[in-house]
Each structure stands twice: as structure tokens, then as C-alpha cells.
Amino acid sequence: MKIAIYAGTFDPITNGHIDVLTKASKVFDKIILAVAEHTGKNTIFSWEERCDLCERSVAYNKKIKVMKFSGLVVDFAKKVNATIMIRGLRAVSDFEYELSLALMNKNLSKELETVFFVPKNKYLYLSSTMIREVVALGGDASDFISECVEKALKEKVKSEK
């Protein structure tokens, strides 16, 4: 069984992330959507909230399992027997960072390979940060996030004002 891992903050998960997961689920037997506890980023949602939103957003796909992790992703990958790291590439600007990350992960874990997926054109410029800003400023992000994420994000933004 080929187990792949897609790790990130997912603050919040976007349709771009979901598109990458959907594509990867056609290639791999099982995908672990690994939600990072500490990423060096200031998150708007708690770890539990991010996991819950991820679970609800990917519930349609039985190949995807959402799990929390802390520490190095390569250690978590070993723990869950994943041999493939999934990463999304949006633009050329992502490539240098993602290549560095893939090379570091390979250095830390020789058996872990990185596979890149490119999301649909309409998601190429999309980021969680951008979604948070659009919603915080009263914009419509419904084409780019699931309904449950949109509702939670609007509530979060409203409570922080």
C-alpha cells in the first residue's frame, strides 16, 4: 500500500489544497492530511479547529485521513509508514522553497520521496493568508473554500473585531 502524507498548517484549508488532495488520491492508496501543530506561523485557528475543518472539508474522500502532528514531518511520516510527501506547486516562486524543503526532507529521511502536484489554474495564486485577508475585509471567498471553512472563518473574524 502506497501511503502519502500532505503536511501543512491548513489555516484554513482551501480548495487549492483539496484539489491537490483529489489529484493525489488518484495516485496513492491512502493519504494522510497531516495538520502541523507548530509551524512558525501565527495561526488564526487552533490546532483542533484546523483539524476539524480539514476533516469536514475532505469527508467526501475515504482515502484521506486527517491527523495531527508535532515535530519533524519526516518523523511523523515514519511513524505512519508514509513513503511519499505530497506538495503543491502554485507558481515559480514556490519552486525554490519547495525544492529546498524536499531536499532537506530527503536528507533527513532517505526513504521519503516528494511528489509535486499543480492545482487547477483558478487556484494557482491562492493561499490561506489571502483567503483570511479577503474574508477579514468583507470579500467573498466562497469559490475558494468549503462552506464549513467560510462559515468558521467569518465567525472567527467577527469575534476578533
For 21, counting Cβ atoms within 10 Å of its Cβ (0-12 exposed, 13-18 middle, 19+ buried), the class is: buried
Options 17, 50, 87, 132, the catalytic residue: 17
Options 56, 63, 68, 90, the catalytic residue: 90
CB contact at 8 A, 119 and 19? yes
Tell which residue, 52, 41, 37, 141, has the closest CA to residue 157. Answer: 141
Options 41, 79, 122, 151, the catalytic residue: 41
Question: What span, in angstroms and rounded, lies between the C-alpha atoms of 77 and 131?
Answer: 28
128 catalytic? Reply is yes
Options 87, 128, 132, 146, the catalytic residue: 128
90 catalytic? Reply is yes
User: Which residues are designated catalytic?
Assistant: 17, 41, 90, 128
